[in-house]
Amino acid sequence: MPGRYVGGMRLFLSVTSPFARKVHIVLLEKALAFEADYRLGSDPEVVRLNPLAKIPALVREDGSALYDSSVIGQYLEALAPTPAVFPADPMARIEVLRWEALCDGLCDAVILAMLEGRRPAERQDPGTIAHHHGKVRRALQLVEADLGERAWAVGDAYTLADIAIAMAVGYVNLRAPALLEPHPALLQRYARLMERPTIAKTAPPPA
C-alpha cells in the first residue's frame, strides 16, 4: 500500500556512486524506512557483505545482503509495489530494463575513463580514455534521440527508466561535463527531473 514502511534495512552507499543514487531514489520514492550507511566499496564491512567489494549493497531485515543496483531495484518493487517504478505491462517493463542497462553501462564507461585518468601521467593510456568516452558519447546520443520530446522515457508515467536517466546524466555532469555540451536537451531534462524531491535530495556534491 502507498507509504508502506519496512524497518531494519540498511543501504551501503557513497555520495558520488551513481548506482547507489539510483537505489536511494527508489527507496525514497517508495517511502521505505532504511538507514543510509556511507562507505567505500573497499570498506571491510562492504566486502563482507558483497564479495565483489562494490556499492550499493542493501542489507535486509534478516541480515542478508542484495547487490547490484538493478537487483535491489527489483527487490524493492516486489517489497513495496506502490508507488510503482516498473510498469505492469511486461513489454513496457522490458523497455524500462533496456533504459536501465543503457544508463548503467554509460556510468560504467565514465568510471573506467575516470580511473584511467587518475593513473600517473606516464602510465595513462589516452586510447583507453578515448575508447570509454566514445561509449559515453554514443550512449548520450541514443538517450537524446530515443527520448525526443516525450515527458517520460516509457509510457506516460515516471518509472525507473527516468530515475536511471537522471542518474546517468547527473554522473556525466559530475565527472565529465564536457561530454554533455552537445546535449543541452539532456541537461534541461535533468534540471526538470531535479525538481523532484527524491532526485534533488540524492544529487552528488559538486566535484
pLDDT mean across residues, the chain: 94
The model's pLDDT over 5-47, given as tens digits with 9 standing for 90+, comes to 345 899 999 999 999 999 999 999 999 999 999 999 999 999 9
CATH 3.40.30.10 assigned to domain 9-79? The reply is: yes
Contact 134, 198 (CB under 8 A): no
Give the mean model confidence (pLDDT) for residues 176-182. Answer: 97
Q: Is the pLDDT of residue 207 over 80?
A: no
Contact 55, 20 (CB under 8 A): yes
The model's pLDDT over 161-170, given as tens digits with 9 standing for 90+, comes to 999 999 999 9
The model's pLDDT over 97-136, given as tens digits with 9 standing for 90+, comes to 999 999 999 999 999 999 999 999 999 999 999 999 999 9
What whole-number distance in Å separates Cα of residue 161 and Cα of residue 86?
A: 8
Contact 46, 57 (CB under 8 A): yes
Instruction: Identify the band that residue 149 occupies on the pLDDT scale cut at 50, 70 and 90.
Output: very high
pLDDT given for residue 2 in this prediction: 32
Right CATH for 90-201 from 1.10.3470.10, 3.20.20.10, 3.30.565.10, 1.20.1050.10: 1.20.1050.10
Length of the chain: 207
pLDDT given for residue 122 in this prediction: 95
Buried b (16+ CB within 10 A) or exposed e, 11-25: bbbbeebbbbbbbbb
> What ranges do the domains of the chain cover?
9-79, 90-201
